[in-house]
Structure 1
Amino acid sequence: AWPSMARTVWGAHKRYMDTYLNVYKGYYFTGDGAARDHEGYYWIRGRVDDVVNVSGHRLSTAEIEAALIEHNAVAEAAVVGVADELTGQAVAAFVSIKEGNEANDALRKDLIMQVRKSIGPFAAPKAIHVVPDLPKTRSGKIMRRILRKILAGEEDQLGDITTLSDPSVVDKIIEVVHASKK
């Protein structure tokens, strides 16, 4: 143990043990998901508790993002849940594509089919927004809160975006989302 490591939850030591130490015996459960690729490298996929509930299916956003990134045109992906009258929540995806690829309806259909094939039809994004970049902090964390607010039409309530590595990307994402609603 080291000084900043949590050793218990005040008044609820059993809860602490069940949450962090008993999930996987011999390991501390951080709540972060990772995958190991064919070369043995580990990739942090995101929080395992970041889920979207579509028609009663609890879907990991990291799993959907991983399915999108499997497509050879996609450089990065971020997925958020949006309110949906029919399913409760729907999946909305934001992707940045690699140079030499074109953002068009054929690509969007390909990406939807990629998710359907990898996970299932219930996980298919309702919308796919192709953006030049994702809103990331300087440490590379994708700020999904900003994406949710943009989709909800709350651009005036984004909060502090100065911690983003490139705050100008927010205006570009807003333009893409507004153009998709026309």
Structure 2
Amino acid sequence: MIDTYFTTYPGYYFTGDGALRDEDGYLRITGRVDDVLNVSGHRMGTAEVESALVLHEDIAEAAVVGFPHDIKGQGIYAYVTPMTGVEDSESLREELVALCVREIGPIAKPDRIQWAPGLPKTRSGKIMRRILRKIAENELNSLGDTSTLADPAVVEDLVEGRVSD
């Protein structure tokens, strides 16, 4: 167990969390380093794309995962929860794509955006990305244990609303 945290960077404790230091010297936690996408050889954290998506005033929450893409290696699949009373639309989808491009760059353009009434979370509020990955990859028969979810019905809604090519 100790080897897990001290071997990546000898002499330093490595938690697996990523951070960026801004121009004022403050650290901003960007998420887990294992939540990294590799899109056409460009590595980016899922948190970067999620942060761009939730900048839109009509979006309450977002979660991003990678999925196999024939050309890019990994595509960007975004689960987006609109604010209460906001209807999903093609124009909102286009605004979200443009927002990601403006904030991060063209490489961060989501390939698929799925409107999500909610995200699969544990009772403590942690998003179960494993389930989101399986849905994005269309591996619907191997979602795994969902007994720790606060609301298991969310998974059924996400499976029904799955976006494909």
Q: Structure 2 length as normaliser, TM-score?
A: 0.86
- Secondary structure of the 2:161 match is helix
Q: Is the 8 A contact 1:54 1:89 kept in 2?
A: yes
1:66 aligns with 2:54: no
The residue number in structure 2 matching 1:176 is 161
d(CA) in 1 for partners of 2:57, 2:158? 22
Q: CA 1:116/1:140 → structure 2, altered by over 3 Å: closer, same or farther?
A: same
The residue number in structure 2 matching 1:9 is 3
Give the drift of 1:84. 0.7
CA RMSD in angstroms comes to: 2.6
Deviation >3 Å, runs of 4+: 42-45
Give the drift of 1:44. 6.0
- Secondary structure of the 1:112 match is helix
Structure 2 residue runs without a partner (length 5+): 21-26
- Secondary structure of the 1:9 match is helix
The residue number in structure 1 matching 2:41 is 56
1:102 aligns with 2:87: yes
- Secondary structure of the 1:83 match is strand
| Partner of residue 122 from structure 1, selected from 107, 110, 114 | 107
What amino acid is the match of 1:144?
Answer: R
d(CA) in 2 for partners of 1:133, 1:20? 41
Give the drift of 1:33. 4.2
| Partner of residue 71 from structure 2, selected from 79, 86, 92 | 86
d(CA) in 1 for partners of 2:53, 2:47? 10
Structure 1 residue runs without a partner (length 5+): 1-5, 22-27, 36-41
d(CA) in 2 for partners of 1:139, 1:81? 24
What amino acid is the match of 1:173?
Answer: L
Q: CA 1:20/1:145 → structure 2, altered by over 3 Å: closer, same or farther?
A: farther
Q: Is the 8 A contact 2:30 2:45 kept in 1?
A: no
Q: Is the 8 A contact 2:59 2:80 kept in 1?
A: yes
Within-5 A mapping of 1:141-156? 141-156=126-141
Q: Is the 8 A contact 2:66 2:77 kept in 1?
A: yes
User: What are the superposed Cα offsets for residues 112-131 of structure 1, whole Å, 9 maximum, x if unpaired?
Assistant: 01100000001100000011
Give the drift of 1:46. 2.7
What amino acid is the match of 1:66?
Answer: S
Give the drift of 1:150. 1.2
Please say which structure displays the higher CA radius of gyration.
1
d(CA) in 2 for partners of 1:103, 1:134? 16
Q: CA 1:57/1:82 → structure 2, altered by over 3 Å: closer, same or farther?
A: same
Q: Is the 8 A contact 2:116 2:158 kept in 1?
A: yes
